[in-house]
Chains A and B, each alone.
Chain A
Amino acid sequence: MQLRVRALESILTEKGYVDPKALDLLIETYEVKVGPHNGARVVAKAWTDPEYRKWLLTEGGAAIASLGYIGRQGENMVVLENTPKLHNMVVCTLCSCYPWPVLGLPPVWYKSAPYRSQAVSNPRKVLADFQVTLPEGMEIRVWDSTAEIRYLVLPMRPAGTDGWSAEQLERLVTRDSMIGTGLPLRPQDIAS
């Protein structure tokens, strides 16, 4: 693949269709700048700021944009709230739709056949693949991103974090907890 992709890149460059500096910048953007740390900041703010939380759940796009996370693959953001009775999980069965501005580029498993096929038909089994077991009776709500709406899960704030600052809480927010295939870390998980 390396040779074939590099060959096509040089054809496109030679023909003037792409600017190699722009290519480097695109890669750098998603390798360094944009990633799940953005989403973690959104979640931690919602955990500590009730007004922001309310705004996030009613106008997700605007509330997320207020932190500077905008643009490609995040044009129509909707935030889904987990509760003691409801667990949300996001998939794109048809391709790889994913909220880039808050989570970065999707992991391989998210784009893979096992996840795309089973998330909608057997989400409990999929969660088991992530070592996640939900309490009996908790409803699982799966959101298949078949159009241009991009979903972010707002996980429940872990117990034992009273008085924590947003910056401290960010460390508990994992990428998977914002997709719905994981839960946030607990305080003891990051105790050093």
Chain B
Amino acid sequence: MNGPHDMGGMQCFGPVKPEANEPPFHADWEKRAFAITVAMGATGEWNQDESRNARESMPPARYLSSSYYQIWFEGLKRLLQERDLVSADEIAQARAMGEPKPVKRTLAAAAVAETLGRGGPSRRETTKPARFKVGDRVRTKNINPPTHTRLPRYVRGHVGTVERIYGAHIYPDAHAHGGGEDPQWLYAVAFEGSDLWGPDGDPAVRVSVDAFEPYLEPA
């Protein structure tokens, strides 16, 4: 989806403002929003790509005016309601009213370290051969799906070079929408800054994205 999350190349946001000695969290609610998001993710009721898709589906003006943990919180509420785990009424009334729905797993305190240590590996074996090799010139397709994709707008339709091959990984475009894991080869594809941004680009800059094979065609 061509949403406000896809920010590469926008120019209207002003300077980056680093904060000296920044703490991991800036408020108690950020800690709790972080923890409930990770703990609910561990229930297995949705995957990471569905989670990203939920965040990206926020109304654009709200997405752009929210802090990142606010975006996480909105995404979490959306997923909980979509899966009937929590109702809109419960959120509005700020209390549990209906019966809980069984979830696949709950994250126990004793399992936290092991669960974080395991992570969520996206790498998959595939019998399909990789279509491209290092050094190949490839063009990113000009696709504009109304659904989740990890091909940013600023590289679409541009020619770049395959620099690295990362094996096959879960394909987010399918995985975010019930299409299963559908593993696809993943490549680091590098573009010249001047190809992406024209004469306004810096000639001494190169930019790469990690692109799944279905995003690419031979150039």
Contact = CB atoms under 8 A, between A and B. Distances in A.
Interface of A: 1-12, 14-19, 21-27, 29-31, 35, 70-76, 78, 93-96, 104-105, 107-109, 111-124, 126, 129-130, 137-149, 176, 181
A114 B64 CA distance: 11
A117 B8 contact: yes
A18 B40 contact: yes
B85 to A, nearest CB: 7
Contact of A17 (B5, B33, B40, B118): B40
4 tightest A-B contacts by CB? A7-B94, A93-B8, A21-B109, A15-B100
B143 interface: no
Given A29-B112, A76-B169, A93-B152, 10 more contacts: A7-B94, A27-B35, A29-B116, A75-B120, A108-B68, A116-B8, A141-B190, A144-B152, A147-B150, A148-B186
B16 interface: yes
Interface of B: 5-19, 22, 24-29, 31-36, 38-40, 43, 52, 55-56, 64, 67-68, 70, 73, 76-77, 80, 85-86, 90-91, 94-96, 100, 103, 106-109, 111-113, 115-123, 150-152, 154, 164, 166, 169-170, 172, 186, 188, 190, 193, 196-197, 201-202, 204-212
Nearest to A126: B16
Nearest to B43: A17
A114 B12 CA distance: 8
A113 B13 contact: yes
A71 B201 contact: no
Contacts of A21: 108-109
5 contacts: A18-B36, A24-B35, A75-B119, A116-B7, A148-B210
Contact of A75 (B5, B17, B122): B122
Contact of B73 (A1, A72, A118, A129): A1
B interface majority secondary structure = mixed
B66 to A, nearest CB: 10
B204 A107 contact: no
Given A109-B19, A129-B17, A19 B204 contact: no
B65 to A, nearest CB: 10
